[in-house]
Each structure stands twice: as structure tokens, then as C-alpha cells.
Structure 1
């Protein structure tokens, strides 16, 4: 499955690009609920590893519903920040890296896999979706940080 950039997505910020995509709706909703929308609409640049809607559906035992509750906002913020790094990093850049320092504060391991890459075990299924303030790479699972930094 590949997620295609929407027309003129390079003119929209990261959050608006994700929202317009159609397969990143849960990620966009989670960003809004976590209060992180201004960051992804800001100047950046950032690289976002956005779990697809299908990736969020794979969370075990009502995990998504639990995370979206107001009392779990700090955990949601930590998880979402674990999916964002500073700078505009293309798939070619990421394929050469062995790890990436996330906004959450924890480093996520990166493995090159042929002409693609994975980050903390999540396969990147769509690369280099452009936005005005960074890039989005869609991934097939929700990565969970081990450290809970704020």
C-alpha cells in the first residue's frame, strides 16, 4: 500500500497535509487532541513518521480509545512526539541513518531495508510526502517509546 501525496500538498503545512491525505485521519485527530497542532502548523521544518489509520487500528485491546481519553493526554503527547524529528529528512537521508533523535527525547532505531527503511520496527510505506514545513513518511505501526519524557 502506498499513500500518494495530495495535489499541492507541498503548499500545506504538515498537519493540513496529513489531514487531506485520507489515510492519516487518526494521526491528525490524535495530534489535535494532544494539543500539538500548532507545532505541526508552525515553521518547522520537521519530518513526521505518521502511522496510517490501519496502523492505529492494530493497537491491542482498545489501545486507541484509551489513548484518546483526556486523562491519557501526556502519554499521547509522548507517543506522538516519538514520531517527529527536527529537520526535513528525505527517505534517502533516513536510509543512511542508524537512529533519529525524536522530539520526545528518545532516539528511534533506523534500519535500511533494500531501497526503503524502517524506524523502530515500523515499515515506511510511503515516503517524502511534501509539505510547506517538512516531510511526512507514512508508517505501518504506531511506535511506542520506552522512555516517557515530556
Structure 2
């Protein structure tokens, strides 16, 4: 079995996420044994972001690190777990809201694929890029 990052790379639909992980400096963290849960926005999810916001993030490693860390949960949180919780703490330090109405959502992102198992955790695919509340309020 491959690691979180190797699995994301092999999937081919997470190139922008992997670029963000690299630029944010979080790659060494996500290569550790974990386990971690990665809420992985697809390239399509990144393309839905306003272009100026996407470039602003990529040019600001400190903010990018917060955004990427907001997509990572400590531990192995599977779909069974997501179905039973209302919130989840992130590596960034903030809390994500989890809602099970009309599919599983984390904040406003729909979980489109669950339980992609890796050597150091699990990946759930989401259809939007998550923004910590403090950064969203700043409008970057």
C-alpha cells in the first residue's frame, strides 16, 4: 500500500493539492506514519476557487500552510466515523463541521469518495477547497 501523498499522486486528480502540500511545507508531516485523514479536494475543486484567491494562497506560504493543514485530521477517520460525528478537529487547529444530510459534508464540501486506505491514513475526496474561518474572514 502507498502513503497518503503517493496515493494522491497515483490517482492523478490531485495535482493542485500536491502542489499546495509541497509549497506549504507540510509534505514532511504527511509523510510521517500518522495516521492522518486527508480531505482531498480534486483539481476540479481548486479550479472552482477564484483565480486571484488561488494565486494569493500559492504566493503566501504561511496562509497556504493553514489552508492545507485545515484539510488534515489527526487519526484514521473512516466513513463510519464521519457518519457519527458533528465536528472534527484539524491539524490547523480549527474545527470542521460534519453534516450527514444529503450525503456527508465537511463544512460546505461534499465528500464524493470515502475510505481510500493508505499506509499512513485514509483519504476522503471532497468537491471544494476548505477555508479556515479566520482566513475566510480576512478575505486573504
Q: TM-score, normalised by structure 2?
A: 0.92
Is residue 78 of structure 1 aligned with residue 32 of structure 2? Answer: no
Partner of 1:28: 18
Aligned equivalent of 2:132: 145
Mapped pair 1:49 → 2:39? yes
1:146 Cα shift? 1.2
Where does 1:1-150 land on structure 2 (aligned, <5 Å)? Answer: 11-69=1-59, 72-114=60-102, 116-147=103-134
Q: 3-state SS of the aligned residue for 1:113?
A: coil
The total of aligned residue pairs comes to: 135
Which runs of 5 or more structure 1 residues have no equivalent in the other structure? 1-10
Contact 1:47 1:88 in 2 (8 A): yes
What's the TM-score once normalised by structure 1's chain length? 0.86
Q: What's the offset of the Cα at 1:19?
A: 1.1
Structure 1 position 131, deviation (Å): 0.6
CA deviations over 1:110-136 (Å, ceiling 9, x no partner): 00135x411011000111111100000
